[in-house]
């Protein structure tokens, strides 16, 4: 996966991904999401801004190693935040579902806004 690390609210987010070392016939589907999640002392909160599910058939129409591009416009909030009790982290998450119930997930974090890097 690749994208810019620091982004501003309302900016367009373009990210590309490719799948390597996984045979196409073993893939059941793929979920790509742009989301924020809280980290810290409290229970986790999660908010999905962008979500797309590709089935195994859709994925196998093109070679898996070929980069695929997804785009979305980022929301105005919540901004990335690093506090004492909680952090708000943005990331692009890919979840690859394999036949037989196994999953592989990959994350690419990014920073939305410029409120805090560390309190």
Partner 1 sequence: MSKLVRLFGKKRGSRMSGWWVIGSASEAAFFGSLFLLGIVSLTVVGTWQLFWPQSQIIRVGFGFWLMMIASLSFVVIGLSGLILRVAQTVASPELRSALAQQAEREHQRRSRGPGATSQLPNVPSLQPFTDSPGERLAYRLASQRGEIGPLVLSFSFAAAWNGLLAVLLVIAVGNFARGTPNWFLTLLLVPFAAVGVFSARWFFTLFRRLSGLGPTIAEISHIPLMPGETFSLYVCQYGRVSFRRLSLAVICFEESTYQQGTDVRTERVQVVRHIICERENCRSEPDEPLELDCQFRLPSDTMHSFQGQHNAIVWKVVVEGDSTRWPSFCRSFPVVVYPPSSVARVGPNPL
| Interatomic CA distance for residues 114 and 117, integer angstroms | 7
Cis preceding linkage at 78, omega within 30: yes
- Distance between start and end Cα atoms, the chain: 29
Give least dist CB 105 to partner 1, A.
Answer: 9
4 or 114: CB nearest partner 1: 114
Give least dist CB 54 to partner 1, A.
Answer: 13
Contact residues for partner 1 (CB under 8 A)? 8-10, 31, 33, 35, 38, 40-48, 51, 53, 75-79, 81, 83-86, 88, 93, 95, 101, 113-116, 119
């Amino acid at each position: 996966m690749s994208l810019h690390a620091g982004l501003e609210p309302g900016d367009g987010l373009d990210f590309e991904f490719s799948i390597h070392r996984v045979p196409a016939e073993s893939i059941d589907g793929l979920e790509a999401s742009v989301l924020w999640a809280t980290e810290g002392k409290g229970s986790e909160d999660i908010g999905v801004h962008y979500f797309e599910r590709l089935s195994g058939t859709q994925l196998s129409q093109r070679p898996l190693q070929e980069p695929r591009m997804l785009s979305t416009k980022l929301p105005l909030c919540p901004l990335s935040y690093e506090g004492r009790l909680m952090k708000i982290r943005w990331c692009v998450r890919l979840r690859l579902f394999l036949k037989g119930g196994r999953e592989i997930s990959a994350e690419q974090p990014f920073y939305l806004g410029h409120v805090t890097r560390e309190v």
